[in-house]
Chains A and B, each alone.
Chain A
């Protein structure tokens, strides 16, 4: 290929631009301003780091592909995210075309860290443009930046932008196109030593002294807000109130939509089933496809409300404060302050909780959080807890007003929290000793959230969840359905149909193993369909005891169970459900988030071991106390 052909090829293919920047510099806002709705979210090949790419249109009609790299303070990668940024910038990322131009995004009001990153990026050798973002805030604060002088001294073209208002975007694109015509230098970057980091700091400090006059009216809002929000006692109180509002919103706002969706799916299953002859086909379409997937899809409103809160708090800058306030408590269990939000979310459902662990940068901190998140009491356990408690715990009131049933429920929640923290503690003190990451985190200045950005991020989360529901969760549902239906019961069979299925066969086979923890074969059989989702076990118990389905019959079922089970067995069943990994979707999500079957396997293994031990102890202690 001749040089002219090469030049022509470079002219016609879209320019590849990578956005780099320190955390909280408004890089994502600039990415949105550049690409609008033309963006797609995926993962980088082989790692769970999120890859965001979009297309920007230049005023002259040219197209540019924009890659939003994870934020980093340095090219010296400390986390998988930062390793992606380093490799992308150096053009060493497997499966990625090296970028033609790097745009370093900087918060104009806080230039030190950004300038140091620019100095490092220069060593990457690729054409570089510095975007001075949030220049409006800098101007309002009376911060005086000599842009031309700084650009000359730094040797990098600088463009001032206000990403949230799309100001300076066209100028930035023009500067990128101009920079693309300059030649790349060979990459000379190497991992800086502590001495070299100090030297980079000194150079950044010199540039600031020479070209930036400190603000005449510095931001005082952040300090004033923090004096309340980070107050040792007041700050925690505000956090608790926020959490309370968040959970109320999840259950109150999303609850009615959930009910409508549940009814909708039931109606759909009924309507479709009406036109079909009884048999496997009907059961497959109604039970596996519509009800199965529906039972997961009904969580979508809750997940969206939860993520709305999480993303909003992140965008405002509060999330770092929540991590600060909770760090000591979380740190006592060997977790990072940021693990707090995912664990909290897991009380609604472990799936969004595990998805929310993406806010934790460090791999081991994140994995520990993922491994313990399913121990917290998710909402799918509530139907089972309610069923067993109403069947076995007398509806007495202590002191006239404290419900015994409520106390048991509270105890089960507390057990979930305590066991999650304990397991985290064990993981961090036995398996990953000395791996604890320093808690070292910037508390960014508060800013108004960008509604468009928040909406876009919530929709992206919803899309990721739906894609998951359509693939891995759907296949799990179909597998569990097949196990519970095939082979069919012979004609004229007296026992419930499930007894003849693989689930029944497995349940009977498991019974000797489960007998020491007090489970009858009916209980063992109910565990199998319960793998699809915990609450399905309630329906399965109804099936094995031949009690018709439906919400009205829960009371009937509770009475039936009370007639068949000993109290010791019932308590063992509860203990089992506190720990058991009875949710295929959670295992699927862990597989997706960790990109390996190893972690879901470990999760399944340790939880089922804990469940067995807990049920065993509960059963035998209860027997010894005369509850047989």
Chain B
């Protein structure tokens, strides 16, 4: 299965591709603390279509610059995940979390 980082993503590219795009939230593990750098779903995402999934993520509060922390993981395949998102907790599957690019906080506590 192709990862989101395989797609050509416009925006957020300041020359240092990795730093600009970050890594998909779906690859992060419990305890991860960071910031959202980009929310973008490729049109090929299937199901409802990329644009719709992207808007739903945005509506649930997954927006650029929002602070995120993975606080819980499911038992099977560590899926779904629960994200502390600013002052709320939101659960989603790793499948959808692929559309959320995050950058780890500079000095993770703990």
Contacts and interface: CB of A to CB of B under 8 A. Distances in A.
A410 interface: no
Nearest to A113: B61
A76 to B, nearest CB: 7
Contact of A440 (B77, B86, B92): B92
Contact of B91 (A113, A197, A236, A443): A443
B107 to A, nearest CB: 20
Interface in A227-246: 230, 232-233, 236
Size class of the contact patch on chain B: 35 or more
B90 A328 contact: no
B73 to A, nearest CB: 6
A438 to B, nearest CB: 5
Nearest to A442: B90
Contacts of B51: 194
Interface string A426-466: 00000000111111111100000000000000000000000
Nearest to B62: A440
Interface in A147-179: none
Interface in A318-375: 320, 323-325, 327-329, 331, 337
A324 B82 contact: yes
B88 interface: yes
Size class of the contact patch on chain A: 35 or more
Nearest to A222: B89
A188 interface: no
A112 B65 CA distance: 14
A226 interface: yes
Of the listed residues B46, B86, B88, B96, the one surrounded by the most CB atoms of chain A closer than 10 A to its CB is: B88
A331 B92 CA distance: 12
Interface of B: 46-48, 51, 53-61, 63-64, 71-77, 79-80, 82, 86-93, 95-96
Given A232-B75, A233-B75, A320 B63 contact: no
A230 to B, nearest CB: 4
Interface string A172-215: 00000000000000000000111001100100000000000010
Contacts of B77: 328
B46 A434 contact: yes
A73 interface: yes
B58 A197 contact: yes
A109 interface: yes
Contacts of B93: 327, 331, 438-439
Given A331-B93, A438-B95, 7 more contacts: A192-B55, A193-B55, A198-B58, A226-B71, A327-B80, A440-B91, A442-B91
B104 to A, nearest CB: 21
Contact of A328 (B46, B48, B71, B80): B80
8 contacts: A73-B59, A198-B63, A226-B89, A320-B91, A323-B91, A439-B93, A443-B82, A443-B91
B47 A438 contact: yes
A223 interface: yes
A531 to B, nearest CB: 39
3 nearest A-B residue pairs (beta carbon) = A232-B75, A443-B89, A328-B76
A327 B89 CA distance: 16
A403 interface: no
Contacts of A197: 55, 58-59, 63
B92 A438 contact: yes
B59 A328 contact: no
Contacts of A201: 58, 61, 63
A562 to B, nearest CB: 45
A110 interface: yes
Contact of A438 (B53, B73, B89): B53
A283 to B, nearest CB: 55
A440 B71 contact: no
A604 B24 CA distance: 45
B92 A439 contact: yes
Contacts of A327: 74, 79-80, 91, 93
Nearest to A439: B93
Contact of A112 (B61, B76, B82, B95): B61
A232 B74 contact: yes
Contact of B96 (A324, A328, A440): A440
A193 B92 CA distance: 22
Given A198-B64, A324-B74, A78 B56 contact: yes
A74 interface: yes
B54 A435 contact: no
Contacts of A329: 76
Of the listed residues A73, A197, A337, the one surrounded by the most CB atoms of chain B closer than 10 A to its CB is: A197
Nearest to B50: A194
Contacts of A324: 72, 74, 80, 82, 91
Contacts of B92: 438-441
Contacts of A226: 71-72, 82, 89
Contacts of A230: 72, 82
A232 B86 contact: no
A110 B87 contact: yes
B95 to A, nearest CB: 7
